[in-house]
Amino acid sequence: MSFWNDKRVLVTGGAGFLGKHLVENLISNGASADALVIPRSNETDLRTWDGCVSAVKDVDIVIHLAVTGGGIDFNRRHPAETFYDNAVMGIQLMEAARREGVDKFVMAGTICSYPKHTPVPFREEDLWNGYPEETNAPYGLAKKMLLVQGQAYRAQYGFNSIHLLLVNMYGPGDDFDLKDSHVVPALIRKFVEAKESGVDEVEVWGTGKASREFLYVADAAEGIRLAAEKYDGSEPVNLGAGMEITVKDLAEAIAEVVGFEGRLSWDATKPDGQPRRLLDVSRAKDEFGFEARTQLKDGLARTMEYFVANRGTIS
């Protein structure tokens, strides 16, 4: 019998980028579609206490994916919303879940919670050794407080809350809006449109020297499911691919996948963000057997194909 057969599961953000992939993964592993609760933001406002109480009613497991956030530009323009929305959603939802007697609470945290100058690879023990990178700090700190809340609730109430530190994700269904998107979908869109219009130069933010780690969204969904099934510890767990690539090399890889042969123009007046990002992913493997399976080049190709096929529905 599947772990999920008799479970009623709340997936906040279940209609979003990661959420859709997680819902598909849960169903393919035994969850009943009828037993999945997926609140829509236009109907259930998780920033309100009543919205949280309504969302957790009669559920066994909460997987909290819903966020307010985006790429560096979005976070620079909306620091207050990014902090308030993410903090208040998580704090109230966890309290409502505790009062409801929910069996398990899975919190999707973020690599943005790590200090700006964390030595690579990032180990979970390094989480409290400094302040996050400034453009991501409101988001990272809001999520970090939910780790504190989960650990406090476990200590006082015996509440089973786990915290996953997710790295940058990409894949089909990502946000390709150039104002709000992360680096992978933004560059895919720029290169595809430049190639089709005959433009021979594409501007890229920053110097290209910063490094990032990327996790294919379907792999992330698999990791979250495995953690929900098998991990019950109080310590946070990195969820990533365990690989590092500079933004310059990433941009060149995306240009190659798209077939764009023009020049890359680096705008060094724009922020690089955190200097380096690379996770130690050994705890996820040891605790619940997760390892990323999708190679970056394959994932980029699938993401590019999705964008090209769905441009009519992308703003």
- Residues annotated catalytic, as ranges: 139
| Interatomic CA distance for residues 291 and 241, integer angstroms | 7
E-strand ranges in the chain read 9-12, 36-37, 61-64, 104-110, 161-166, 168-170, 201-205, 211-212, 214-216, 237-239, 245-246, 263-267
Distance from C-alpha of 46 to C-alpha of 12, rounded to nearest angstrom: 9
Contact 131, 91 (CB under 8 A): no
Contact 293, 253 (CB under 8 A): no
As a whole number of angstroms, the distance between CA 259 and CA 235 comes to 43
Instruction: Determine the 3-state secondary structure of 313 from DSSP.
Output: helix
Sequential DSSP letters for 81-136:
HHHHHHHHHHHHHHHHHHHHT-SEEEEEEEGGGSBTTPPSSB-GGGTTSSPBPGGG
Residue 238 backbone class (left: φ over 0; alpha: ψ -120 to 50; beta: rest): beta
Strand order in the sheet with 237-239: 36-37, 9-12, 61-64, 104-110, 161-166, 237-239
